[in-house]
Amino acid sequence: MYDVIEPESNESEAASGCGPLLLTDTSDSKPLRQQVFEHVRASGRAARADVTRALGISAGSATTLTADLISAGLLREVEGLPREAGRGRPPVALEVVPEARYVIGIKLSDDTHSAVLTDFAGHILANATLPSAPMRKTVDALLDEISGLIDLVLTDGQKTLPDISAVGIGMSGIIDHNSGTVPWSPLMAEPDVDLRRAFVERFGVPVHVDNDTNVLTLAELWFGAGRSISDFAVVTIENGVGMGLVLDNRLFRGARGMGLEVGHTKVQLDGALCRCGQRGCLEAYLADYALAREAATALHRNPRNLQSPKAMLDDLFAQAKSGNEAARTIFRRAGRYLSVGLSNVVQLFDPGLIILSGARMQYDYLYAEEVLAEMQKLTLSDGRTPCKVEIHAWGDMIWARGATALALAAVTDDALGEARA
């Protein structure tokens, strides 16, 4: 019913290119030059004949458009495509000029911040991590931590800040991607923070901000299992519970750019208290802090114990594996709430695939056969192929890499604007 996929399999560089492999129904809304460029980048390398077939354009148009992109310094010709037997010289291929642009992707979290530096072709040049102060922060304090992280990744990648065309940031909470503001985040000490304005004033570099689950979903769409899938969902369980959704091979954000907060959908009226301040949210039964809240009772710990939620949960999981029935019951209950949440995702969006991700996927009770079987029972799926579920236990770096996709998409729009000019 489900596949468990380790991080190494999806972070492999074996698959060439980056970005979605499928065209969307609205691809023709993009300039044709951009479609050509993005096809080449997604393929890694492509001959002009491949471009004409993929986009349904004439050979003459492909020649003109690729010449324009080569002149703009965005594509280059290389040899390397395999030659057909007896057909003479191998065809000349096109590829993205990697050094044309550089971007940084950043994942902000409660305990660790991560960053990845990539070139315009999506190749990773450097990465870095820094511990985060375990408290809600003012915007200035958060920018101080980001500054240290950027310095580290630039030093490792032998670049300077003026080399960077854009930065992408993923963080938990309600994020307005269009405006770059943060109406609410568990990382921030105040609401309605204009993070884009504050970042640009501090660093002088364009920044694009989104919910962290959205950037993880972009990582799947640009670099992972979602590259060749038109409709899929990503559900994450870590410090919170998040969801990202791809429809028609594009990230769906909702009318105001703040949709799909599955962790704050209600599964119990007047239920457990969520950190958002409301009661009965799915997150209040699945997230780290929610499980740790019950673990303290099951493990007979003093509520004032300073043990971290992660350490508490590791102890709880060890106890469950060793046969502690109270510990097992906590995980089973959380699994049942997860099955309710997943069934709602299937019922509402009918995705071809659900990817369960995040650090808590190490707890196999959450994706036991009975959990996924109950998910199927709660959906109207009689006579249909069940929704496929995969488990991707990603580390922090893949979230940061997803944030590079956020920046690359924006920089591509800007770069193709330059090419048209």
The answer to whether residues 378 and 292 belong to one domain is yes
Residues 291, 378 share a domain: yes
How much is the mean pLDDT over the chain?
88
Question: Is 163 inside any structural domain?
Answer: yes
Average pLDDT over residues 248-254: 90
> Cα angle at 121 between 115 and 124, to 5 degrees?
30
Most confident segment among 7-21, 202-216, 279-293: 202-216
The per-residue pLDDT for range 123-164, each reduced to its tens digit, is 999 999 999 988 899 999 999 999 999 999 999 999 999 999
DSSP 3-state of 315: helix
Q: Is the model's pLDDT at 322 over the cut of 60?
A: yes
Could you tell me the CATH number of the domain that includes residue 163? 3.30.420.40
Counting the structural domains of the chain, the total is 3
Amino acid in the structure at residue 46: A
Question: Is residue 260 situated within a structural domain?
Answer: yes
In a domain, 315, yes or no: yes
Q: Are residues 71 and 212 in the same domain?
A: no
pTM: 0.89
Residue ending a domain, among 56, 77, 99, is 99
Model confidence at 1, pLDDT cuts 50, 70, 90, reads: very low
The predicted pLDDT at position 259 comes to 67
Q: Is the pLDDT of residue 86 over 60?
A: no
Quick check: is 321 in a domain? yes
Tokens of 72: 């703009």
Tell me the mean pLDDT in the region 59-72.
Answer: 96
Q: Of the candidates 1, 17, 54, which has an alpha carbon nearest to the alpha carbon of residue 408? A: 17
Lowest mean pLDDT among 75-79, 96-100, 253-257, 413-417: 253-257
Burial of 162-195, coded b for 16+ CB within 10 Å and e otherwise, reads ebbbbbbbbbbbbbbbeebbbebbbbbeeeebeb
Task: Mark whether 87 and 142 lie in a shared domain.
Answer: no
Inside any domain, residue 401: yes
Report how far residue 352's alpha carbon sits from residue 419's, in angstroms, rounded to the nearest whole number: 36
pLDDT band at 226, cuts 50/70/90? very high
Q: Which helix (H) or strand (E) holds 221?
A: helix 212-223
Task: Give yes or no: residues 83 and 105 share one domain.
Answer: no
Q: Are residues 271 and 363 in the same domain?
A: yes
Q: Say how far apart CA 107 and CA 116 lie, in whole Å.
A: 9
The mean pLDDT of 78-88, rounded to a whole number, is 61
Please indicate, yes or no, whether residues 74 and 188 belong to a single structural domain of this protein: no
Sheet arrangement for strand 250-252: 2-5, 388-392, 353-357, 232-237, 241-247, 250-252
> Would 181 be classed as within a structural domain?
yes
Mean pLDDT value of segment 163-192: 94
Residues 39 and 85 in one domain: yes
- Give the pLDDT confidence score for residue 418 in this predicted structure: 56
Q: Give me the pLDDT at residue 11, please.
A: 42
Q: Which residues of 302-313 are buried (b: 16+ CB within 10 A; e: fewer)?
A: eeeeebebbebb
Q: Which domain holds residue 250?
A: 225-394
Domain final residue pick, 99, 127, 156: 99
Q: What is the mean pLDDT of residues 78-82?
A: 70
pLDDT for residue 4: 52
Do 39 and 78 fall into the same domain?
yes
How confident is the model over 3-42, as pLDDT tens digits?
555 444 444 344 489 999 988 766 567 899 999 999 999 9
Last-in-domain residue among 99, 128, 158: 99
**Separation CA 147–CA 198 (nearest Å):** 12
Tokens of 286: 């699945």
